[in-house]
Structure 1
């Protein structure tokens, strides 16, 4: 550290009573907005607002009033299935109770208790509810086995409801409830659960609650429960690591204050900017805890080493000396970590990951600021200069050698005794990594945010297995003029479109205005099955809808067609929400509508939940590669510039590259797919992992400039710097290891992979890196860069 640099820290400590309230005020100011932080658990959060798939999905919600619903399934696998008096009465009660919830649109609840059957009579058509008490078509009174049989027969006669409202095997029926506002999803989901729990059901009957509305509602609670458990656990583990490393209350408390300032500041700024708290944001807290505490570990190690080597030095001078030693490596690691986070933010197309990267970078910057200012101020104000046991000298004046120092020294001796073997193993691991990474596959599923043991996960699987599916794939058809949908040719195109959609993977069935047209046509033809067709006369088609409006509520069609009969929605039900399934559906359907529509008669656009899910994850493999390349390139360039040497920059990047490659290899060989959690680990791990190499190289260069490159020289890397790196590694890996206990599977994968990557990078930094330096003896290690002469001989960097 230069004279000027030491002067900066002396000046800081001279004005410490001014600096302290300023720094604490800065933390308070950035944390003031925390109460404004809002959660966003919707799937739409993962795609940009200007993406056509989302724009059209929002468009059809405005036109047809459709939102992501909560789906309640009544399932009975006995012989009669759901067609018995008790089950139909249960559907009626559940429907009326759900309609009464303030968060649910009562006009947008669909079930056997709300839908109508269309039949013909001498006057024309009869439109009656399946469970209505006074009906002409249904002769048996509601609540009887005979009425249940009539309902079964009516469903069998009306293809529109088969698979959609009632499972094709007759064992399941759905109640689909749409939210008034997505922000009310949690209250709505809890309200539906309360209604379900209050019901007494017959033996053999089960009720399940799923759907995107349920997922949004449950995720909010899920996030809160996860954060309230994980974050204190991470803090506890970090504190225990600090206590073991330093055996000092001061060394345990002060880093936690830096952590608190970092986390409160970054999340306070997140709230102030209006950025939402997403599912994956839970992982950012653990990131920042590990990063902030790592800086403190190195600074405290240096401080205690200075006091051990110069016992007569007063406390303020010891703090200045320690900061003079550590400002450069801590700054280097902060810059490279910031580069990794920013590269993640820039390269991702998903807003939650963009926010993760941006506020991760802000958090690292805050950690650096507080480590360079608040930590030395607090350290100088602590009312004791006691040297903790790991750094104290024995009574005879000899330095104590801790277990960690002995272990690291033993590792160093083995590495430096066989550097060629170490490098050979590194090359073999590289080859293994490349081969495994080529096996990597892409997969994502929204419901996989939950553990398989969770009720909402199980409900999703059961409902999709017993019905046509609860994931919506939509095609919006638009005509140039009002009443364009009365055109028979266009309706036949839509009929062909439905037939094509039903051939696609996981598509169970489709619905559109065409289904009503054919049912109405058959009804006026005295129920003749041969009349279940589209009439050739557009006037007859218009007349059919007029007859329906005269017999029932014309708003019954509002989910399929607009008021002017100019726009209509074709909806397919998909039973599999995986990306690989969506990938086999959406592109081919888009090609089909491009070839068969988009002319003077009508235009067609593919949209819906399945399409949005496909596009928010489409290209994740390419964006992940871009993210890794940008992050790796950014930290490598930063290392080159900071070390002022391409050779040293590349050496610093080598352990990181090997760590990321090996993790991808393990994923490829073991079948762990590239998903939401696993796609972002690499950029984060790159920024974190290069810290080990930078600290190791900084110390090796310092030693090499004093004594040249030799085995004896490099052995001095391990006792102090190696010990600090070891506890740095334990703190970071332990913090991320906490995520493996998360209730959110993507966070489990994210935490596991980062922990593995950090472990690999640490081991490579203390084995492969010194071995390469010993074998290559790069001149950059011993050459001097221009700097001011040192004020005093510095204690060893730790």
Structure 2
């Protein structure tokens, strides 16, 4: 069978090269036709776990409280913020923002009710309150209220009194929530193989409808952010202004990624062309490898476009990884062809190309397969975009391997043979310096490797999983400055919600026992037993979270949250309680609180009560914003700290406390990625070890080969820990990248070493010959990729910089491990048997 495949390959690729090239060209054109449909996805679904229960809970809370997304515009005028000109400017700005499609309401210091300018009485609260735009309002009193009131402090006015925020609340997309609920219900049945034929068709229809709607929603979101920015730009001559919000961050991330894909993709290709020209100095060895890489990328991107598989923030480096893996294969093929031609200048073109293919097929095939194993850990992550990324890399490696072994040999067959530039003399090969160092400084190599392992192990203990969006951007970029302004002056940027359910009924009765002794309540108990103050919807005034017992507990937790340096603005029912006690001149009874809740006008109720109380579910909500720029911010730690304090110090039951928000979902996603990428590294190395045994047919040789591989991976991860670079959704795949690169080097080196060793059985001579042959291919690949990807250091998107630097670091670690440590281990342990 293998002979039949070899004969078929030789007949199609070697003997009919033009047919093979035209076939590849036709496939490339067909794939390229789909590129206009190529899409990037930065939706919440692309950054969350597919089966995350917290995601279902988040959507439930989202719909219940109608707490939609928002955009924040900061406004810092050139003149006094409370001057007539600035206030008129703010009014105009608010009106312009209100006209933007998708904006539900605009809230700023001109619109909020004033309760302390002057201070109202409890009975005054039932009347429609005044605002800053009302006639006769004392602006100095209003300024003091915005500064000191528990309602507006750290929300509307900066500490220096010069910056305010205008909040554009976006409409809750109930169509999106409805479609995603339908899709998730059917997907749950699909995973259980419980779909009927009719439900299967419905599942496919709803999935397609949801994907189409999500695409349209993303376009609308991007257009909305652009429109808001245009509005802000029209005021920039009169004030310093920034735009913030999760929607804005998402839109900017997509823009940065698209820009990097185009600008730096071209830059990387140009660097690769330059380096190939310097290394090989022949047009065919520039054009053919480059064409192989580009055609592989076009084929994969075209296929993804036709299948509507979308690159996400996590998989945005897919094209770059494809370039790396495909370029490595082509360089190995070119180096082998040049060596063979230099050694056998009288061979025919057929013989030279077939020798190249025969010599490199097995190591390249196993390199591809073991790299697939490295990326296979992504498939078990539970995150759909990450799973898709794993499959993308698997298919990309297969496509790159096939195109390399078709396009490059066929191209060499149609290209004039020319003169051999490589005469087979390896005595001056630069890589021999590595082999001489391994031979002459062997003890130092082992010691340095042990030190590197120890330092890496320490670095691994410092490695943390975190995701701070503000760290994705340079400090001089508009998005960073805007996020920092909101973070430092206006109460934080990253929203987090704390949802508290009512305590069991028996405990409510115990906590409310004081009410039974309330003489005022007893006096009116019989007369108002039929709930005189119930509203038309049947809501009772007896709502636990609006009683003194419930509000006192919420207030205690609210005050604790405000005391945490990582937490910015906190909003809850506690604010309404504080205001009510303040204007009343003391505490209120449950009866007075019930009357107050029913009597509040909508303008106050919509600000102080409605967003934080779900009467039917007997649930309250505390909304807070975390300070992203806080140097000590650790999301998991802060959530655990809040939960522990609520339970151990304030007496809440564990089942009462629930966190919600995109921060929780991102945190779950990162932990899942950490588990799938880092915690499964051991299983990945075992799988690679087994493949090494199959390839090398020697357990001892496989053990020797796996050591440099593991060291390279741990050096990169440990280096990240020492450098303080967190594992986040952009850097988490570096483990798979490092393993894939190191595996490539080890397989090629040991395959060559075995062949050379068979010639004379001398380990030292074999090492030098191997460095002079395959060592050059490894060195050329490393230099090309390190220098080519260094161009990413010029990006304005920090994750792109990290990717370029970490990829270069992975390549350096893998190259040193393969050309210095691996040879020394072979000399020490002699896994191929005694010398001849």
Q: What TM-score do the two structures reach when normalised by structure 1?
A: 0.85
SS at match of 1:716: helix
Q: Which residue of 2 aligns with 1:491?
A: 551
SS at match of 2:310: coil
Q: 1:536 to 1:410 in 2, by over 3 A?
A: closer
Deviates more, 1:510-519 or 1:278-287: 510-519
Report how far residue 375 of structure 1 moved. Answer: 2.5
Taking the aligned partners of 1:84 and 1:632, their CA distance within structure 2 comes to 67
Matched, 1:192 2:228: yes
Q: 1:219 to 1:322 in 2, by over 3 A?
A: same
Taking the aligned partners of 1:521 and 1:629, their CA distance within structure 2 comes to 59
Identify the match of residue 163 of structure 2 among 169, 172, 184: 172
Matched, 1:659 2:712: yes
Q: 1:534 to 1:122 in 2, by over 3 A?
A: closer
Taking the aligned partners of 1:546 and 1:267, their CA distance within structure 2 comes to 59
Q: Is the 8 A contact 1:562 1:568 kept in 2?
A: yes
Taking the aligned partners of 2:34 and 2:618, their CA distance within structure 1 comes to 47
Matched, 1:372 2:405: yes
Taking the aligned partners of 1:247 and 1:656, their CA distance within structure 2 comes to 32
Per-residue deviation, residues 466-499 of structure 1 (Å, max 9, x unmatched): 1222322212345699543554433333233322
Matched, 1:232 2:230: no
Taking the aligned partners of 1:780 and 1:364, their CA distance within structure 2 comes to 34
Report how far residue 15 of structure 1 moved. Answer: 5.0
Q: Which residue of 2 aligns with 1:88?
A: 87
Taking the aligned partners of 2:557 and 2:37, their CA distance within structure 1 comes to 47
Q: 1:5 to 1:310 in 2, by over 3 A?
A: farther
After TM superposition, list the pairs within 5 Å mapping 1:274-673 onto structure 2.
Answer: 274-343=308-377, 345-346=378-379, 348=381, 350-382=383-415, 384-389=416-421, 391=422, 399=423, 401=425, 405-478=428-501, 483=540, 484=543, 485-516=545-576, 519=579, 527-528=583-584, 530-531=585-586, 533-537=587-591, 540-549=592-601, 558-561=610-613, 566-576=618-628, 580-591=633-644, 603-618=656-671, 623-673=676-726
Identify the match of residue 266 of structure 1 among 272, 291, 300: 300
Per-residue deviation, residues 251-293 of structure 1 (Å, max 9, x unmatched): 2112222212321233334344444322343322221112111
Identify the match of residue 780 of structure 2 among 720, 727, 744: 727
Q: Is the 8 A contact 1:258 1:375 kept in 2?
A: yes
Matched, 1:117 2:140: no
Taking the aligned partners of 1:446 and 1:628, their CA distance within structure 2 comes to 27
Per-residue deviation, residues 658-701 of structure 1 (Å, max 9, x unmatched): 22232334334444444444432122111112211211111110
SS at match of 1:190: helix
Q: Which residue of 2 aligns with 1:130?
A: 131
Q: 1:413 to 1:511 in 2, by over 3 A?
A: closer
Q: Is the 8 A contact 1:110 1:175 kept in 2?
A: yes
Report how far residue 112 of structure 1 moved. Answer: 1.6
Taking the aligned partners of 1:53 and 1:768, their CA distance within structure 2 comes to 46
Q: 1:587 to 1:615 in 2, by over 3 A?
A: farther
Q: Is the 8 A contact 1:620 1:679 kept in 2?
A: yes
Q: 1:549 to 1:417 in 2, by over 3 A?
A: closer
SS at match of 1:162: coil
SS at match of 1:114: coil
Taking the aligned partners of 1:77 and 1:478, their CA distance within structure 2 comes to 47
Q: Which residue of 1 aligns with 2:52?
A: 51
Taking the aligned partners of 2:810 and 2:123, their CA distance within structure 1 comes to 76
Taking the aligned partners of 2:709 and 2:242, their CA distance within structure 1 comes to 46
Taking the aligned partners of 1:414 and 1:552, their CA distance within structure 2 comes to 77
Structure 1: where are the runs of 5+ without partners?
Answer: 141-146, 392-398, 784-798
Q: Is the 8 A contact 1:627 1:683 kept in 2?
A: no
Per-residue deviation, residues 185-236 of structure 1 (Å, max 9, x unmatched): 322222222112211565xx53222222221122222122211111111111
Q: 1:2 to 1:721 in 2, by over 3 A?
A: farther
Q: Is the 8 A contact 1:295 1:371 kept in 2?
A: yes
Taking the aligned partners of 2:34 and 2:834, their CA distance within structure 1 comes to 47
Per-residue deviation, residues 497-533 of structure 1 (Å, max 9, x unmatched): 32232233422342224433554676xxxx44x24x4
Q: Is the 8 A contact 2:566 2:633 kept in 1?
A: no
Q: Is the 8 A contact 1:443 1:674 kept in 2?
A: yes
Taking the aligned partners of 1:616 and 1:42, their CA distance within structure 2 comes to 14
Q: Is the 8 A contact 2:18 2:414 kept in 1?
A: no
SS at match of 1:406: coil
Taking the aligned partners of 2:647 and 2:384, their CA distance within structure 1 comes to 29
Q: Is the 8 A contact 1:40 1:278 kept in 2?
A: yes
Taking the aligned partners of 1:349 and 1:751, their CA distance within structure 2 comes to 27
Taking the aligned partners of 1:208 and 1:50, their CA distance within structure 2 comes to 36
Number of residue equivalences? 747
SS at match of 2:762: coil
Taking the aligned partners of 2:573 and 2:731, their CA distance within structure 1 comes to 42
Per-residue deviation, residues 541-582 of structure 1 (Å, max 9, x unmatched): 443343334787869855334586854422123223678432
Taking the aligned partners of 2:361 and 2:250, their CA distance within structure 1 comes to 45
Q: 1:754 to 1:535 in 2, by over 3 A?
A: same
Taking the aligned partners of 2:147 and 2:6, their CA distance within structure 1 comes to 86
Q: Is the 8 A contact 2:67 2:611 kept in 1?
A: yes
Taking the aligned partners of 2:603 and 2:687, their CA distance within structure 1 comes to 69
Matched, 1:149 2:140: yes
Taking the aligned partners of 1:767 and 1:472, their CA distance within structure 2 comes to 50
Per-residue deviation, residues 35-61 of structure 1 (Å, max 9, x unmatched): 333323356632214323333322222
Q: Is the 8 A contact 2:465 2:670 kept in 1?
A: no
SS at match of 2:374: helix
Per-residue deviation, residues 10-57 of structure 1 (Å, max 9, x unmatched): 233345455444434444445554333332335663221432333332
Q: Which residue of 2 aligns with 1:40?
A: 41
Taking the aligned partners of 1:551 and 1:654, their CA distance within structure 2 comes to 68
Q: What TM-score do the two structures reach when normalised by structure 2?
A: 0.81
Q: Which residue of 2 aligns with 1:760?
A: 813
Taking the aligned partners of 1:286 and 1:122, their CA distance within structure 2 comes to 67
Report how far residue 177 of structure 1 moved. Answer: 1.6
Structure 2: where are the runs of 5+ without partners?
Answer: 174-216, 506-537
Q: 1:177 to 1:225 in 2, by over 3 A?
A: same
Q: 1:416 to 1:6 in 2, by over 3 A?
A: farther
Q: Is the 8 A contact 1:577 1:610 kept in 2?
A: no
SS at match of 2:347: coil
Taking the aligned partners of 1:156 and 1:3, their CA distance within structure 2 comes to 83
SS at match of 1:732: helix
SS at match of 2:590: coil
Taking the aligned partners of 1:374 and 1:617, their CA distance within structure 2 comes to 40
Q: Is the 8 A contact 1:701 1:781 kept in 2?
A: no
Q: Is the 8 A contact 1:681 1:754 kept in 2?
A: yes
SS at match of 2:563: coil
Taking the aligned partners of 2:579 and 2:739, their CA distance within structure 1 comes to 61
Deviates more, 1:27-36 or 1:451-460: 27-36
Identify the match of residue 701 of structure 1 among 754, 762, 766: 754
Taking the aligned partners of 1:234 and 1:632, their CA distance within structure 2 comes to 31
Question: How large is the Cα RMSD of the aligned pairs?
Answer: 3.4
Q: 1:322 to 1:201 in 2, by over 3 A?
A: closer
Deviates more, 1:590-599 or 1:262-271: 590-599
Q: Is the 8 A contact 1:647 1:780 kept in 2?
A: no
SS at match of 2:41: coil
Taking the aligned partners of 1:427 and 1:156, their CA distance within structure 2 comes to 59
Q: 1:557 to 1:285 in 2, by over 3 A?
A: same
